[in-house]
Structure 1
Amino acid sequence: MTGGPVDAPVLVACAHGTRSAEGRATVRALADDVRALRPGLRVVEAFVDVQEPAVADAVADATLAGPDGGLRAVVTPLLLSTGHHVRHDIGAAVAGRPVRAAEPLGPDERLVAVLLERLREAGAEPDDAVVVAAAGSTDPAAAGAVEQVVAGVRAAWHGPVTVGYGAAASPSVPEAVTAARAAGAARVVVAAYLLAPGHFHGALLGAGADVLTRPLGPHPLLARIVLDRYDAQVASGPVAAVAVARG
């Protein structure tokens, strides 16, 4: 699909939020890439933390107009896996409204392709040990999603590929880097499985690796994943009749 009718459901692009100017610019660039791929589609940005508008406010605004009984918005997470923000923040924002929540960006083979591209850009060599650095979550589904992406990198990379987490899961990224060196790696590269620059990416500089890749965004493949997630919900048909809050 390349066009978007003016009465199509609003795409609420929901990111985590960050105080990093570069991180905010990356999210804006991703939203702009989506608009460029789908002219006429209304795309609004929303956040679960730090930035405004909050996702609940963006959803409320998106549902003020539209056909009764029709799907008025799809909240599409600009998040790499499920977890608290997807299940609770976004889930609460869409509950009781003519709105659906799309799946997060990952896992997806295109994310593997972007990670491999970032490794090549950073000068990683085929024999280097790679630690894929993910944010981390206590949600088992999130860990499973990360492992699927790591498996994709492992299948394409000659050297050893492991995973490390920033929080809420183990091993930590520094622990994974240390383990890679103990296993005999001459060089260790941390592949940042993060959407945008921010606090966590900055912390990776102290993880002890020889090379750190830049985050996934901005990248044209990300916008295509966003639209695929959105389209899947639009294609699901009409939503059940609900009472729309106007206040």
Structure 2
Amino acid sequence: MNPAAGGGKRPLHVVACAHGTDNPEGRRLVNGLRGDLAAVLSADGIDAVVHEAYVDVQEPRLESVLAALPPGEAAIVAPLLLSEGFHTSVDIAEAAAARPHTIVSGPIGPDPRLAGVLAARLAESGHRPGDAVVLAAAGTRLEAGQRQAARMAAALAEELGQEVAVAYCSAAAPSVPDAVAAARAAGAKRVGVAAFLLAPGFFHDRLAGAGADQVTAALLPGVTIAKCVAGRLAEALAKGPSGTE
């Protein structure tokens, strides 16, 4: 669906909402993702204005960005988050519900394209055939988010042709250190952690102490992530405000 292409229509307001981080490199990479997203949407013929917003740590906060948009104009919030969690189900959902003509797309993952990015990051980190692999997700208490992380681990397992365990940086079990220890207890001589994290920051920093032989870089940078976000936007626009096709 291309609601803002041609015909003199007003541009679509896309509010690309990230968690927020104190890490300068993380901030740079997330801002780069917004630029990549604008380019991908333009290449797809969608006239869109991509806005910056956050649910924590950084400004501007999502509520203030939505409130500042022109009244009556359509907007869609694109969570720059990898799976469902408190921020998508509460913070973002409530902020969008408070503004008319505003919908929300799904989180970036799971997506088979992300498995390719994770596999490339593992290769860059020194992964060898036969090394055990633990997918490290941020973590959430929501079962939906945990299922999505498990689906991402399954997609990576298919990409690599080997088993991949799933673990979490917080809020869910097993923890990443526990999963690494379990892999060693099962006989693995080397264990790699595939960081299912968008950018450097608090959680990625903690992975260095998980006891693994390698820890991958975060998913960004890479236009593949922007393409995944654009795909979630297309799905949401196709469903429309009622959530049906």
TM-score (norm: length of structure 2): 0.90
Partner of 2:51: 44
Residue among 58, 76, 79 paired with 1:77: 79
Q: What is the Cα-based RMSD across aligned positions, in Å?
A: 1.9
Do residues 19 (structure 1) and 25 (structure 2) align?
A: no
Do residues 104 (structure 1) and 104 (structure 2) align?
A: no
TM superposition shift of 1:156: 2.7
Asked whether the equivalents of residues 98 and 239 of structure 1 are also in contact (C-alpha less than 8 Å), the reply is: no
Asked whether the equivalents of residues 126 and 158 of structure 1 are also in contact (C-alpha less than 8 Å), the reply is: no
Indicate how the Cα distance of structure 1 residues 63 and 92 shifts in structure 2: closer, same or farther if over 3 A, else same: farther
- The answer for unaligned runs of 5 or more in structure 2 is none
Structure 1 stretch 158-167 or stretch 188-197: which is displaced more?
158-167
Residue among 146, 151, 158 paired with 1:148: 151
TM superposition shift of 1:157: 2.3
Aligned equivalents of 1:183 and 1:239: distance in 2?
49
Asked whether the equivalents of residues 96 and 103 of structure 2 are also in contact (C-alpha less than 8 Å), the reply is: yes
Do residues 184 (structure 1) and 173 (structure 2) align?
A: no
Residue among 114, 117, 124 paired with 2:117: 114
Partner of 2:97: 95
Asked whether the equivalents of residues 137 and 168 of structure 1 are also in contact (C-alpha less than 8 Å), the reply is: yes
TM superposition shift of 1:235: 2.6
Aligned equivalents of 1:204 and 1:238: distance in 2?
39
Residue among 68, 71, 78 paired with 1:64: 71
Q: For each residue in 1:149-178, what CA deviation from the matched residue of structure 2 results, as whole angstroms up to 9, or x when unmatched?
A: 101111232444211111111111000111
Aligned equivalents of 2:179 and 2:88: distance in 1?
27
- The answer for unaligned runs of 5 or more in structure 1 is 67-71, 241-247
Which letter does structure 2 place at the counterpart of 1:46?
Answer: A
Structure 1 stretch 36-45 or stretch 166-175: which is displaced more?
36-45
Aligned equivalents of 2:125 and 2:135: distance in 1?
14
TM superposition shift of 1:236: 3.0
Give the secondary-structure state (helix, strand or coil) at the position aligned to 2:48. Answer: coil
Indicate how the Cα distance of structure 1 residues 238 and 165 shifts in structure 2: closer, same or farther if over 3 A, else same: closer
TM superposition shift of 1:37: 1.8
Which letter does structure 2 place at the counterpart of 1:106?
Answer: G
TM superposition shift of 1:8: 3.0
Indicate how the Cα distance of structure 1 residues 76 and 150 shifts in structure 2: closer, same or farther if over 3 A, else same: same
Do residues 55 (structure 1) and 62 (structure 2) align?
A: yes
Asked whether the equivalents of residues 128 and 160 of structure 1 are also in contact (C-alpha less than 8 Å), the reply is: no
Asked whether the equivalents of residues 115 and 159 of structure 2 are also in contact (C-alpha less than 8 Å), the reply is: no
Asked whether the equivalents of residues 103 and 241 of structure 2 are also in contact (C-alpha less than 8 Å), the reply is: no
TM superposition shift of 1:233: 2.3
Aligned equivalents of 2:12 and 2:102: distance in 1?
9
Which letter does structure 1 place at the counterpart of 2:160?
Answer: W
Matched residues, percent identical? 45
TM superposition shift of 1:63: 4.2
Q: Aligned pairs, how many?
A: 235
Give the secondary-structure state (helix, strand or coil) at the position aligned to 1:209. Answer: coil
Give the secondary-structure state (helix, strand or coil) at the position aligned to 2:226. Answer: helix
TM superposition shift of 1:239: 6.9
TM-score (norm: length of structure 1): 0.89
Which letter does structure 2 place at the counterpart of 1:80?
Answer: L
